[in-house]
């Protein structure tokens, strides 16, 4: 009788809150975070518009969309890596390398933009696989690997360029049209970025492989015990991040036309800031690519607003750093409070 009396109580104590309850609480926290970012973005746009009404004219909106599209793309790729509790600091150098490589390939020819974009994706994927192999199978810390890859790729890029640059005058018209053209008044680049963003969000939410990335970020050891192929998933995340960065490099060429060896230099920290500010925890397992895209839009809008308001560009870096620190601190507080709330519910 004593056994039958105590066993149910022990089972009840060990189960804790059901998984659905955990997910609903986490999703509620994420919705609040993304709503606050969206609200801050709207307030910033309205405040800048009140000071300078030209900020929201047709050309101003078009410039804002074009300026944010590449950062949104890079934040989307970075998000998949950060969700696995890793980081990719080489994305900026990958953009620079692929932009110059694509420009060198297409200069003085009539190659189609699809061929150029395929080249950029292929080069970026190779870079991502190199980092992913060292992180997943070599078990070298991601920070060390991707920082090393950043300098390696930059060195290759500078050696290739030899101080030269790609000029817009040498690019085919269809490539430049990709960067400046529009569909129904909306530039091509934001439409492309939105398509990649939607496809990535759908995969992460609806496919087993996407859900496993969240599981790896939450607890790599638990994911491994559950049968998740952790190494292969991390490798795939880096390959995807590299492919997106290579794709962004091809679009960088189409957007600006003139490319030098250090294109997108320093963007890796801006991309990481956009991801973390957008609600993806630097410790992995929490966040959405929608939030990362909002973070990218917010940082881009801050830069554009400072230019319109004729404020020193130094403040853009200072504000970005402050937002990054605030986001990490907020994540820490939210995570601890969520853990305490779940523990209280498990005792009830």
Secondary-structure percent of the chain, ordered helix, strand, coil, rounded to 5? 80, 0, 20
Q: Average pLDDT, stretch 269-277? A: 90
Q: What is the pLDDT of residue 27?
A: 54
Q: Exposure of 219 by Cβ count < 10 A (0-12 exposed, 13-18 middle, 19+ buried)?
A: middle
| Domain residue ranges in the chain | 20-343
Q: What is the pLDDT of residues 281-317, one digit of tens each?
A: 888 888 899 999 999 998 888 888 888 877 776 777 7
For residues 25-47, give the mean pLDDT: 73
Q: What is the CA angle 206-209-211, rounded to 5?
A: 60
Nearest to 203, CA basis, from 53, 80, 92: 80
- Pairing of β 186-187 and β 182-183: antiparallel
Distance CA 270, CA 68 (A): 12
pTM for this structure? 0.84
Report how far residue 229's alpha carbon sits from residue 221's, in angstroms, rounded to the nearest whole number: 11
Listed ranges 226-230, 279-283, 299-303, 341-345; the one with the highest mean pLDDT: 226-230
Mean pLDDT over 130-154 rounds to 94
| Distance, CA of 291 to CA of 272 (rounded, Å) | 13
* pLDDT(22) > 60: no
Question: Using CA of residue 245, residue 144, residue 141, residue 232, what is the dihedral sign?
Answer: positive
pLDDT cut 70: percent of the chain above it: 85
pLDDT tens digits, one per residue of 81-111: 999 999 999 999 999 999 999 999 998 888 8
> Which bin fits 18, alpha (ψ -120 to 50), beta or left (φ > 0)?
beta
DSSP calls for 22-72? HHHHHHHHHHHHHHHHHHHHHHHHHHHHHH-GGGGSHHHHHHHHHHHHHHH
DSSP 97-109: HHHHHHHHHHTTS
Tokens of 329: 């601190």
The helix or strand, by DSSP H or E, that contains position 166, with its residue range, turns out to be: none
pLDDT at 10 (0 to 100): 40
CA distance 242 to 237: 9
Neighbours of 332 (CB within 10 A): 13
CATH architecture of 20-343: Orthogonal Bundle (1.10)
């Amino acid at each position: 009788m004593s056994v039958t009396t105590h066993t149910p109580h022990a089972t009840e104590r060990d189960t804790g809150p059901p998984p659905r309850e955990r997910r609903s609480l986490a999703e509620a926290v994420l919705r609040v975070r993304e709503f606050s970012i969206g609200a801050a973005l709207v307030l910033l746009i309205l405040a800048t518009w009140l000071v300078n009404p030209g900020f929201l004219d047709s050309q101003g909106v078009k410039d804002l969309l074009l300026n944010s599209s590449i950062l949104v793309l890079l934040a989307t790729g970075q998000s998949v890596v950060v969700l696995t509790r890793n980081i990719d600091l080489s994305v900026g150098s990958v953009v620079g390398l692929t932009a110059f490589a694509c420009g060198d390939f297409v200069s003085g020819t009539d190659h189609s933009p699809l061929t150029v974009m395929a080249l950029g994706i292929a080069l970026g994927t190779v870079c991502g696989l190199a980092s992913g192999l060292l992180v997943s199978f070599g078990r070298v810390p991601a920070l060390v690997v991707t920082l090393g890859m950043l300098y390696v790729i930059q060195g290759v890029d500078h050696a290739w360029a030899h101080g030269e640059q790609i000029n817009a005058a040498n690019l085919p018209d269809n490539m430049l049209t990709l960067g400046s053209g529009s569909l129904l008044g909306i530039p091509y680049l934001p439409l492309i970025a939105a398509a990649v963003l939607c496809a990535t969000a759908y995969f992460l939410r609806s496919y087993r492989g996407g859900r496993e990335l969240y599981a790896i970020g939450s607890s790599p050891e638990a994911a491994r015990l559950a049968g998740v192929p952790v190494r292969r998933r991390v490798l795939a995340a880096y390959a995807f991040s590299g492919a997106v960065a290579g794709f962004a490099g091809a679009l960088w060429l189409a957007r600006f036309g003139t490319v030098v060896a250090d294109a997108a230099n320093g963007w890796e920290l801006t991309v990481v800031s956009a991801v973390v500010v957008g609600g993806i925890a630097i410790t992995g397992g929490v966040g959405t690519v929608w939030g990362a895209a909002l973070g990218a839009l917010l940082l881009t809008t801050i830069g554009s607003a400072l230019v319109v308001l004729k404020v020193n560009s130094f403040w853009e870096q200072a504000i970005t750093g402050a937002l990054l620190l605030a986001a990490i601190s907020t994540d820490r507080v939210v995570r601890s409070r969520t853990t305490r709330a779940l523990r209280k519910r498990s005792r009830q």
